Structure 1
Amino acid sequence: MKPRTILSPLVLAAGLLFYSVGCTDLTDTVDSQVTAETFFQNDQQFVSAMGDAYSRLTALGGGGSPAQFNEATTDEIIVPARGQDWSEGGFWYRVNSHSWTEADGTFNGFWNTYFSGINNANRLIFQFESAVESGAADPALAETFISELVAMRAFYYFWLLDAFGNVPIVTSFVDAEEKPSQPSSDFAEGRRMVFQFVEKELLDNVGNLSTDTRGTYGRMNQYVARMTLAKLYMNAEVYTGTGRWGDALTQLNEIINSGQYSLAANYHDNFAVQNDGSPENIFVVPYDKVFLTGLNLHQMTLHYGSQNTYNFQFQPWNGWSATQKMYESVIDPMQNPGPQGEVWGSEPTSDDAGLERVMGTLDDRLGNFLVGPQYTSGGERITDSGIYSDFDRNGPLLTFTPAMNDLEAVACRQCGARIGKYAFENGIGSSGSNDFVIYRYADVLLLKAEALWRMNAGSAEALALVNQIRMRSGVDPFMSLDADKLIGERGRELFWEQTRRQDLIRFAGVEGGETRYNDPWQFKPISESWRNVAPIPRNQLEANSNLVQNPGY
């Protein structure tokens, strides 16, 4: 468990800051025991009342809809069907191969997750404003917290903009329409209007937000809002047709010049079990295996037999893996120049090790992947008799191999580099205690480098920023920058931080796709550009006749 000093801001939020269940009906009536007569008299009472505004963030650390769309549809992650496990009616095949439909549940889950957050924020804004209007709360005291809620609502809308584009804008709790419409029946116009709404909400409120990074750990503060604006501007050309690189740079410089953040000396310290002290953390979900559960990466990615490696209370599910392409982007000296040494390769072998050894780049970030022979905590080789393919060349001995033979039912059970991004705590149950990173400082530096490069491809400052990130991981500096190096470095540094889809859609394609997201990779053909946004979920269309489906679906 985390030290009490880190939990305290969340415990103040009624012990349920993140775990209150929000509903998706935007017309719910107020049902709360919190009243102006008993609350809203001091900072702690405001904080403890606003937990529901953050409740939906717990969806980010598992394999729910945000990760399904932002990771499993990209060249980072693959979720193969191994026999009957993970087949799920072909769902994961459709996600990985860009053949999904509006009926696939991940999109309804994504929609409900973020609109639930918006509904919760609207309810709390209404309660806070009502307390001020009745004279029960000090307007000056309430102002900062109302701005925090408005900015948090804009954060949810930013992710809905990114995923769906043209979505209804609802800012009222009491007077919310039962069946709200999108801003426009025209997709491009509607998406621009949602962009403008998010931008205005953040700009209007950022100055009122706290700059106390420890006191607002895990909450919206000025730097979280500025990072959201920066990300909004970095993809402005995608969302609106007009690039806003200079505006992104302004927001990124505000974060950098604040002096609040710095790179951690060790890359993996950012993802340790006790990572709340990382100098890079800007916005996190502060999971705890007792008080705030939901971080179940170990169950999602590890093999059934890995239970005996880490003495987990429950057996993992043998699912999510890194793609061979992503793993090789780290060890390939052409893509990632640096010191060379013997590393695990990609292809399986028939010897006891079960995986080839090759010369490759010795990058500290190789620790993001679990590959090679697997052992129990007592040092014995783990075995798995469930073999579906001759691709598993070393038989029952369990060896994680980056190479994958199939996406559908005959995928071998040991294939796929497993996601080792967050340290696995020995003996845990279904949830870990690592804080899940939403925004961190390394991303700030890489985004600034990209913004500078897009305005001036020969920018020495951009090159220096990227090399600052590379040097931390012990690899050689680049001599120049291009699109391949920028998107490659973002992949290596930000693997499994749910940025990949958002990154790929702003880089032009190089293998026949309109963007890198539409380019082909293993098990995925060139995909249509309209798949760069999700469909309006069928469930929402059936419930609300005012909604218009996105183009292509």
Structure 2
Amino acid sequence: MKNIFKLFLMCGALVTVGACTDLEEVLVDQVPEQFNGSEPSFATFDGGGAGPADAMASAFNQLRESGSANHGGYWSIQSVSTDEMAVTQKGGDWYDGGIWIDMHRHTFGATNGPINGAWGQQYSAIGACNTSLASGNLDANQTAQVRALRAFFYYRLLDLYGRVKILTEAGGNPPQSTRVQVFNFVESELLAALGISNVIGMDLSSSPLGTGQTRYRINQYAALGLLAKLYLNAEVYTGTPRYAEASAAASYVIDNGGYVLCGSGCSVPNAAKRPSVASDPDELTGYAAVFAPNNQTNPEIIWAIAYDNVSGPNMHFAQMTLHYSSQFTWNLQNQPWNGYSALEDFYNSYDNADKRKDANFIVGAQLDYEGSAILDYAATGGDLELNYSTDINELEPNASRKGGARLGKFSFRQGQRDNMDNDYPIIRLGDMYLIRAEADARVAGNWNLALNDVNTIRARAGVSALGSLTADTFLAERGREMFMEVTRRQDLIRFGKFNQAWWEKPASQAFRNVFPIPQEQIDASGGTLTQNPGY
């Protein structure tokens, strides 16, 4: 029997932008807890590494540096601006000048720090791509890949800001392009990388891109998957629908890529397993396995960002979402920050039988590695046990420290460091089924044409097949499948829902469908950047 002294701190030392500031007090408790058994020890873990070291590495490494799965930039503004989640103000903690309240309520302006951060992240990545392309060190296949990668970062800018500058070489200062011009550039670069002029009736026999399943690089299916996402949103970006092309691109990936949905026969060892907690499964199966820390060989993922706790940093979901005391459930190296939580209405949109509900959210009473209740000694009202409620009492100023289901889709591992090991899918097969389903329905004006593909996804989730569909039921199904994968803002805009009211958010203006051009960038442009209308 050993005594373990557990330190419960109001907030750990944070290394990311804007988290856990202006604390009104610091409470430190030393609580001796006795338990039977030995100190935890964890097996050697293979998170897949940080991707190949080739001539394209400096460009592809920018996927980790561009805010894809950490706090304060691209992922944050795409996600917190939707009905998926919020960052609540817990007294003096997580106020951060009101930036996350503004993001949730759609009152953000041109001086919002994360909006500026996301802009800089994408242009830094584009600069690395331009340097790589200008190096003379790339063959035809590598050149096509880096052009497609650069197009991906411009796809992000197109989606976020609309009117941006298209820089294709270092030191240039081109004029600000319209949103249609940026769309055309992204489309043309992806088609050029594929060696085709159109995805309808395409012949890829002369494509410089390969067909091998190289998940950390771009093959034909990754480029087509990105085109499918681009065409799905083309009507928003340009005013002209391109749903037939979206369906063609997604269908080609589904029919020819050799990828399969991770279902009942697809599993990995549960890296979060606590030997003393009987409810922890030995294996993660199906949907849960797609996003696990050891997902590096998952058959559903077409193109992914390679994260690794040692050599591939900047995935921080555990730190971003978990309560400080949840450190003891996963034996985390450092204390989490207690920031992001799911909105109750979004959580309740899942049927209780839906396997995705258990995989995506962390709720209820929390236990440590030995199976004992975890306590929060800074809790008010005398209820010390850490129990994640699905409801949140308010957005600000004194949101519950335990309020809201926590984000668990990209699941955690025992002994985890601040940087996670889970690969983050950019293109995966489940999304391709849903893109084809929606595109076919919109082309025909009949949502029931989406049933086959939607029911394929629902079967994997363990819920019954639907007999009919509407636009609203399709959007809800897409939301359940794609949670935390930065598609929700696009989906809400495409379905005309982004400006509607939801929890602690009033109806917002249509101009909010694009973010403002950051004021810092306008000031530095010498008059060559102008603001988006409405800001």
Structure-1-length-normalised TM-score: 0.80
Could you tell me which residue of structure 2 aligns to residue 176 of structure 1?
172
How far, CA to CA, are the matches of 1:539 and 1:460 in structure 2?
47
1:49 corresponds to which of 30, 38, 55: 55
Q: Which amino acid in 2 is paired with 1:523?
A: E
After superposition, where does 1:513-552 map in structure 2 within 5 Å? 515-544=496-525, 545-552=527-534
Could you tell me which residue of structure 2 aligns to residue 158 of structure 1?
155
Shift of 1:55: 2.6
After superposition, where does 1:473-552 map in structure 2 within 5 Å? 473-507=461-495, 515-544=496-525, 545-552=527-534
Corresponding position: 1:78 with 2:86: yes
Greater share of residues in helix = 1
Shift of 1:372: 0.6
How far, CA to CA, are the matches of 1:111 and 1:143 in structure 2?
29
| CA gap 1:395/1:209 in 2 versus in 1, 3 angstroms | farther
Q: Which amino acid in 1 is paired with 2:533?
A: P
Q: SS where residue 252 of structure 2 aligns? A: helix
How far, CA to CA, are the matches of 2:168 and 2:359 in structure 1?
43
The superposition leaves residues 165-223 of structure 1 with CA deviations (integer Å, 9 ceiling, x where unpaired) of 010111123x512xx3202xxxxxx1111111111111112133433443x32122211
Indicate if the aligned counterparts of 1:304 and 1:318 stay in contact, CA closer than 8 A.
yes
How far, CA to CA, are the matches of 1:521 and 1:361 in structure 2?
25
Indicate if the aligned counterparts of 1:310 and 1:424 stay in contact, CA closer than 8 A.
yes
Shift of 1:67: 1.4
The superposition leaves residues 361-409 of structure 1 with CA deviations (integer Å, 9 ceiling, x where unpaired) of 4444332100111111112111223346x7xxx7222110110111112
The superposition leaves residues 85-106 of structure 1 with CA deviations (integer Å, 9 ceiling, x where unpaired) of 1111111111111111100111
Q: Which amino acid in 2 is paired with 1:240?
A: T
How far, CA to CA, are the matches of 1:374 and 1:501 in structure 2?
31
Number of residue equivalences? 456
After superposition, where does 1:131-530 map in structure 2 within 5 Å? 142-173=139-170, 176-177=172-173, 180-183=174-177, 190-207=178-195, 208-214=207-213, 216-265=214-263, 266-331=286-351, 360-387=352-379, 395-458=383-446, 461-507=449-495, 515-530=496-511
Indicate if the aligned counterparts of 1:237 and 1:243 stay in contact, CA closer than 8 A.
yes
Q: SS where residue 437 of structure 1 aligns? A: strand
| CA gap 1:303/1:242 in 2 versus in 1, 3 angstroms | same
Structure 1: runs of 5 or more not aligned: 14-47, 132-140, 184-189, 332-359, 508-514
How far, CA to CA, are the matches of 1:230 and 1:372 in structure 2?
38
| CA gap 1:548/1:487 in 2 versus in 1, 3 angstroms | same
How far, CA to CA, are the matches of 1:300 and 1:437 in structure 2?
19
How far, CA to CA, are the matches of 2:49 and 2:403 in structure 1?
38
Q: Which amino acid in 2 is paired with 1:373?
A: A
Indicate if the aligned counterparts of 1:470 and 1:476 stay in contact, CA closer than 8 A.
yes
How far, CA to CA, are the matches of 2:372 and 2:251 in structure 1?
51
Corresponding position: 1:98 with 2:98: no
Q: SS where residue 399 of structure 2 aligns? A: coil
Indicate if the aligned counterparts of 1:80 and 1:319 stay in contact, CA closer than 8 A.
yes
Could you tell me which residue of structure 2 aligns to residue 43 of structure 1?
none
How far, CA to CA, are the matches of 2:416 and 2:506 in structure 1?
39
Report which stretch shifted further, 218-227 or 485-494.
Answer: 218-227
Could you tell me which residue of structure 2 aligns to residue 69 of structure 1?
77
How far, CA to CA, are the matches of 1:479 and 1:446 in structure 2?
17
Indicate if the aligned counterparts of 1:312 and 1:429 stay in contact, CA closer than 8 A.
yes
Structure-2-length-normalised TM-score: 0.82
Identity %: 40
Indicate if the aligned counterparts of 1:305 and 1:315 stay in contact, CA closer than 8 A.
yes
Indicate if the aligned counterparts of 1:209 and 1:221 stay in contact, CA closer than 8 A.
no
Q: Which amino acid in 1 is paired with 2:466?
A: F
Q: SS where residue 502 of structure 1 aligns? A: helix
How far, CA to CA, are the matches of 2:88 and 2:75 in structure 1?
15
2:116 corresponds to which of 101, 108, 112: 108
Q: SS where residue 60 of structure 1 aligns? A: coil
Indicate if the aligned counterparts of 1:52 and 1:117 stay in contact, CA closer than 8 A.
no
Q: SS where residue 348 of structure 2 aligns? A: helix
1:122 corresponds to which of 111, 127, 130: 130
Structure 2: runs of 5 or more not aligned: 1-43, 196-206, 264-285
Q: SS where residue 438 of structure 1 aligns? A: strand
How far, CA to CA, are the matches of 2:391 and 2:129 in structure 1?
44
Shift of 1:63: 2.0
